[in-house]
Structure 1
Amino acid sequence: MRNLLFTLCLILPMVATAQQVQLKGLFGSSAMLEIDGRQRLLKAGQKSPEGVQLVEATTRYARVKIDGREQKLTLDAPVAASYEKASRAEVRLKPDSRGHYSTGAWVNGRSVSMMVDTGATSIAFNYPTARRLGLNLERAQPIRVSTANGIARAYKLSLDSVTIGGIKLHNVDATVHADDFPQVTLLGNSFLSRVDMEQQGGVLILRARN
Structure 2
Amino acid sequence: MHKLAFLLFSLLFASLAAAQEVQLKALFGTSAMLEVDGQQRLLKSGQTSPEGVKLVEANAGFAVVRVGGRQQKLTLDAPVAARYAEASRAEVRLMPDSRGHYSTSAWVNGRRVNMMVDTGATSIAFNYPTARRLGLNLERAKPIRVSTASGIARAYRLTLDSVTIGGIKLHNVDATVHGGDFPEITLLGNSFLSRVEMQQQRGVLILRARN
Q: What is the CA-CA distance between 1:192 and the residue it aligns to?
A: 0.4
- CA distance 1:170–1:34, shift in 2 (3 Å): farther
- Deviation, structure 1 residue 72: 5.1
Q: 2:12 aligns with which of 11, 14, 28?
A: 14
Moved more, 58-67 or 177-186: 58-67
How far 1:10 moved relative to its partner? 1.9
Check whether the contact 1:71–1:80 (CA below 8 A) recurs between aligned residues. Answer: no
Q: Match of 2:125?
A: 124
Identical columns (%): 74
Q: Is the 8 A contact 1:42 1:48 kept in 2?
A: yes
Contact 1:125/1:185 (8 A) holds in 2: yes
**Paired residues of 2:23 and 2:82 also in contact (CA < 8 A):** no
Asked if residue 148 in structure 1 is aligned to residue 149 in structure 2, the reply is yes
Task: State the distance in 2 between where 1:8 and 1:127 align.
Answer: 55
Letter in 2 for 1:130: A
Does the 8 Å CA contact 1:154/1:175 hold for their aligned counterparts?
A: yes
Does the CA-based 8 Å contact 1:61-1:72 persist in structure 2?
A: no
Number of the residue aligned with 1:133: 134
Residues 30 and 97 from structure 1, CA distance in 2 versus in 1: closer, same or farther, beyond 3 angstroms?
closer
Matched, 1:209 2:210: yes
Q: Quick one: structure 1 residues 208 and 81, their matched pair in 2 at CA, closer, same or farther if it must change by over 3 Å?
A: farther
Secondary structure at 1:20 match in 2: strand
Distance 1:187 1:35 in 2: 31
8 A contact 2:73–2:94 mirrored in 1: no
Secondary structure of the residue aligned to 2:192 is helix
Distance in 1 between residues matched to 2:129 and 2:149, nearest whole Å: 19
Aligned equivalents of 2:167, 2:26: Cα separation in 1: 21
Using the TM superposition, give the Cα deviation of residue 147 of structure 1 relative to its aligned residue in structure 2, in angstroms. 2.5
The aligned residue for residue 104 of structure 1 is 105
Counterpart for residue 95 of structure 2: 94
Give 2:48's aligned amino acid.
K
* Shift of residue 188, structure 1, vs aligned partner: 0.5
Size of the alignment, in residue pairs? 206
Secondary structure in structure 1 of the residue aligned to 2:41 = strand
C-alpha offsets along residues 12-61 of structure 1, whole Å, 9 cap, x if unaligned? 22212253322222223432112123221223454322122334443344
Tell me by how many angstroms 1:173 deviates.
1.0
Superposed counterparts of 1:26-175, under 5 Å:
26-67=27-68, 69=69, 71=71, 73-75=73-75, 76=77, 78-79=79-80, 82-175=83-176
TM-score, normalization by structure 1? 0.81
Q: Could you tell me which runs of 5 or more consecutive residues in structure 2 were left unpaired when the two chains were aligned.
A: none
Cα RMSD after superposing both structures: 2.7
- Inter-CA distance 117–43: structure 2 relative to 1 (3 Å threshold): closer
Deviation string for 1:38-91 (max 9, x for gaps)? 221223454322122334443344344434x36353415544864433433332
TM-score normalised over the length of structure 2:
0.81
